[in-house]
Amino acid sequence: MSLVRLNIKGISYSQTQNGAYALLLSEINGKRQLPIVIGAFEAQSIAIALEKEIKPPRPLTHDLFKAFADRFAVNVKQVIIHKLVDGIFYSSLICERDKIEEIIDARTSDAIALALRFDAPIFTYINILEKAGIQLKPGSSAGLFDAKLSDKEETTGKSSASSSKNELTNFSINHLNQLLEDAVKNEDYEKAAKIRDEISKR
């Protein structure tokens, strides 16, 4: 059965499950996209791996796994989303050490967080993409943290999110850089992502 390579299209707050996020994977040579519901911690870990300039002061669990694997010369070569049962995706890490390959079962969210850290490609089988893939209209795809970001914002609604963005526009670049540094130190990566976006606009 043929494999289809995927890349990460974005992450947004899940509109169907409270406290969860939707990870959107897109086939590289096609228009279909695979939405996967993941937890807040895994979403944060994936977002940090995507945003290279945001460095947590202490290693996250997936960073620890990467450091451990590097120390013992274990490499994650690729990730395969190989099964879909009752709406749950099952994945495998294809690892190599001393030219010997091993297949390790993993949650899809963990597998993707690790794939980013190892620069490993992500694949799924064509039948899974045909079964669970969707085609979004132009402009409706999920963007990284462009939806509501936390339980607090979920309860306060869109006005809270927009007012937070408006507040950032009043700060100078120097002040924003200081806020970004403070947010990373406090491990508030959602806030750090917003500040980084505002700095990028400038």
Whole-angstrom distance, CA of residue 83 vs CA of residue 86: 10
pLDDT at res. 137: 60
Residues sharing a CB contact under 8 Å with residue 123, sequence separation 6 or more, in sequence order: 3, 4, 5, 6, 78, 79, 80, 81
pLDDT in tens, 79-102: 999 999 988 999 999 999 999 999
Whole-angstrom distance, CA of residue 11 vs CA of residue 190: 12
pTM comes to 0.68
pLDDT category at 144 given cuts 50, 70, 90 is very low
Mean pLDDT of 134-152: 45
Cα angle for residues 119, 124, 125 (degrees, 5° grid):
150
More confident residue, 143 or 11: 11
pLDDT at res. 105: 97
Task: For residue 3, list its beta bridge partners.
Answer: 125
pLDDT at res. 17: 65
Residue 88: closest CA among 37, 24, 41, 139: 37
Residue 158 has pLDDT above 60, yes or no: no
pLDDT at res. 163: 42
Residue 192 has pLDDT above 60, yes or no: yes
Mean pLDDT of 146-155: 31
Task: For residue 20, list its beta bridge partners.
Answer: 39
pLDDT at res. 20: 80
Mean pLDDT of 96-116: 96
Mean pLDDT of 128-149: 60
pLDDT at res. 135: 80
User: Which stretches of the chain are DSSP H helices?
Assistant: 40-50, 61-71, 108-118, 126-132, 151-156, 158-169, 173-185, 189-201
pLDDT at res. 149: 30
pLDDT at res. 122: 97
